[in-house]
Amino acid sequence: MQLGFLMLRSDDEEPKPFRILAAAITNFGLHVGTLVVGQRVMRHEDQPSETPLLSALAIEGRLTGDLGLDVLPIETGEDDDVGSYVTDQGETWLYRRSILNADSLLPPTWLGSAISLAAFEQEQRALVLRITLTGLVASMIAGLVALVLARHLAEPVSRLVEATKAIRAGDFGLLLPPSDIREMNTLAESFNDMAAGLELKERYHSVLQQVTDPSVAEGLIAGRVKLGGELRDVTVMFCDIRGYTALSVGRNPEEIIELLNHHMSAMTAVVQAHRGVINQFAGDAIMALFGAPQSYSDDAERAVRCSLAMLNERERLNAIVSEPIRVGIGLASGEMVAGCIGAENRNDYTVVGERVNLAARLCSTAKGDELFIDAPTRDRISQALATESILPLMLKGFSQPIPAFRVVR
């Protein structure tokens, strides 16, 4: 059976397309004839031009309809179902051709079709426009929301910045007010708790520095100085006012306290400038340590230079005050037990040992503006610091005479 298309016409008519079906007639295997059935194919010239789908047949090299496009006519070939995009007068069409009677003995017939993509492109442009407008509207809404949130957050954030600056400046009294934003309110509460903790810690630190040396206070806060003692090589200084009893006679307590405070403040500044540690104030005496709780390897040298600076500072102050004060200083060096002595809830950092007693005895022996040191201290200082030997001293608490030296100013 063969299927094909033919252009048939009468004498006075133009050719018309027909679909042809040809079937062989056989009798006991003998071909006796052929049955041919034809059906006229409707023409395509009457399709409206606005129809999105156009089609035409190519039969015997003749086109049975007009695609309405300025494209190449349907051509016969071996390829089937070939399609491409073509542009006609600014409009894009999808053009496709396919063979209808492959493997037929009748002439090949091709079907050409074209569908306009104008509607699709229009919808695509409309979709792009909608997406663009939606994006713009969403961006505007997001911008407005961000602006509202920024204004809503700007005030609490600004207060937080100001409070942080106040904390840095040492003002712990500035507290953040509650916020209607849950996260910012939680942050404000945490900040206020932190500020209160810092204020309390600063208060403790200030009190601690008032009752002990700053270096010891820092060690206590950091946990480096604990209850108990350790052997350390330390130089101990005692500085005492000469003629204190006569100085205080006839004066009211307020005047004596003011006089002592002025003297102690000046001497403390000199000790701290030489990295010494004020251990205690005992009446009119000052006890200072060099080498505890931290050693700088030249502790004895610094102790002697600090003592000379204290004598010089006292001499300078005596020139400008109405009541001059003279002091004597004693130094002793050696191995001592250094640490916190007392109880867990109340203790003092100090040093104990024979050399401590020796420094106190040398101080009590020294006259006004004199500096006495023991032999170990003299052996640890440089030759630039001149000393002169004095007669061995018989000191209370020591069974043998103690060699001592006077530092020449």
DSSP letters for 237-263: EEEEEETHHHHHTT--HHHHHHHHHHH
Task: Judge contact between 302 and 385, C-beta under 8 A.
Answer: no
Residue 404 pLDDT? 95
CA 346 to chain centre: 41
Q: Are 172 and 196 in contact (CB under 8 A)?
A: yes
Q: Residue holding tokens 């015997």?
A: 60
pLDDT at res. 233: 94
What is the pLDDT, as a whole number, of residue 70? 47
Give residue 37's identity as a one-letter amino acid code: V
Phi, psi of 371 (to 5 degrees): -125, 115
* pLDDT tens across the length of the chain (409 residues): 788 877 777 666 777 888 888 888 888 878 888 888 888 776 555 445 555 667 777 777 676 765 555 444 455 455 555 566 666 666 777 777 777 887 788 888 877 777 777 778 888 889 999 999 999 999 999 988 888 877 777 777 777 778 888 877 777 777 777 777 777 778 888 888 888 777 777 665 555 454 455 666 666 556 555 556 789 999 999 999 998 888 888 788 888 888 899 999 999 999 999 999 998 888 889 999 999 888 888 999 999 999 999 999 999 999 998 889 999 999 999 999 988 877 766 667 889 999 999 999 999 999 999 999 999 999 999 988 999 999 899 998 898 999 999 999 8
End-to-end, the C-alpha distance of the chain in Å comes to 139
Which domains does the chain possess?
2-116 (no CATH), 124-202 (no CATH), 225-407 (3.30.70.1230)
Is residue 212 within 8 A of residue 220, CB to CB? The reply is yes
- Identify the pLDDT of residue 72: 44
Q: Record the pTM.
A: 0.52
pLDDT at 168: 77
Residue that the structure tokens 């079709």 belong to: 113
Calculate ∠ Cα 248-249-255, nearest 5°.
Answer: 45
CA distance 217 to 303: 21
Strands (E) across 120-186 are located at none
Residues in contact with 242: Cβ distance below 8 Å, sequence separation at least 6, in sequence order: 326, 327, 328, 367, 368
Mutual orientation of helices 182-211 and 214-222 as an angle, nearest 10°? 130
